[in-house]
Amino acid sequence: MKLLAMKTNSKAPDLTDFPEWVRANELLVDLQIKFSDAESSVQRLLAEFTVASAGSSTNSAIVERARSLINDGAQGVSASKLPRNHTEVQHDLASARENRAIYAEAVALQRAVVDKLRYKLSGEICLSLKSEHRRLVGLVAEKARELAEASAAEEEFRNDLRERGIAYQSGGLKPMLFPRLGKLSEHGSLVSRYLREVDDY
């Protein structure tokens, strides 16, 4: 319950609160979709080019088209319905590859814009939240100090028993010093180093 009380009621700022971030991401998504479409076109044309290359000679292309006419009842078909030769497909494939390369570069450029914007806007957000973060760090420091003091008191409790000749472990007591925290009186202890870092923050 106490941890819940530490949270602020107001909505924390988010990258989506910035119109320029939303626009930049929408453009990136649009470019990624168009790149995907361009990649699909390349793959489709590659498959068509493989088939066309199997009969790439002029004579083979003529024979293939002649067969198409026969299969159509010699009524004649439009050029678009005739099998394309490998030269035609190769031309389209080159254009598709160029188109794909253009979109790939556009995606990379826009991603760089988005990353730069993310860094800039994140800085603005974090700057607005620094006082709140410092408040939370202060709470951590307060609890760390209290924990170190309580841990030291536990150790002193056992030391007192030992100095009086009392074998505390025989009565079921055991050392419960908080591990690796160290003492506030020790300059190089974990808790001391942390508290100094908090003071410098």
**Domain map (residue ranges) of the chain:** 15-200
Please name which of 146, 148, 147, 172 lies closest in space to residue 158, comparing C-alpha atoms: 172
What sign has the CA pseudo-torsion 176, 179, 180, 183? Answer: negative
Task: Check: CB of residue 114 under 8 Å from CB of residue 25.
Answer: yes
Q: How far apart (Å, rounded) are the C-alpha atoms in residues 44 and 95?
A: 13
**Residue labelled with tokens 């910035």:** 18
Span 90-108, pLDDT tens digits? 899 999 999 999 999 999 9
* Below-70 pLDDT ranges, the chain: 1-10, 54-69, 71-85
Quote the tokens at residue 123. Answer: 């800085």
- Across the chain, what does the average pLDDT equal? 86
pLDDT of residue 47: 87
Straight-line distance from the first to the last Cα atom of the chain, in angstroms, rounded to the nearest whole number: 28
Task: Check: CB of residue 15 under 8 Å from CB of residue 23.
Answer: no
If you compute the radius of gyration of the chain from its CA atoms, what whole number of angstroms results?
A: 37
pLDDT of residue 48: 84
Please name which of 101, 103, 61, 68 lies closest in space to residue 82, comparing C-alpha atoms: 68
pLDDT of residue 89: 85
Quote the tokens at residue 141. Answer: 């420091």
Please name which of 187, 163, 193, 162 lies closest in space to residue 175, comparing C-alpha atoms: 162
Phi, psi at residue 57, to the nearest 5°?
-70, 155
pLDDT of residue 1: 40
What's the DSSP call for residue 77?
Answer: -
pLDDT of residue 152: 95
Quote the tokens at residue 16. Answer: 């989506």
pLDDT of residue 129: 94
Residues 6+ apart with CB under 8 A from 147: 178, 181, 191
Task: Check: CB of residue 117 under 8 Å from CB of residue 20.
Answer: yes
Residues 6+ apart with CB under 8 A from 194: 141, 144
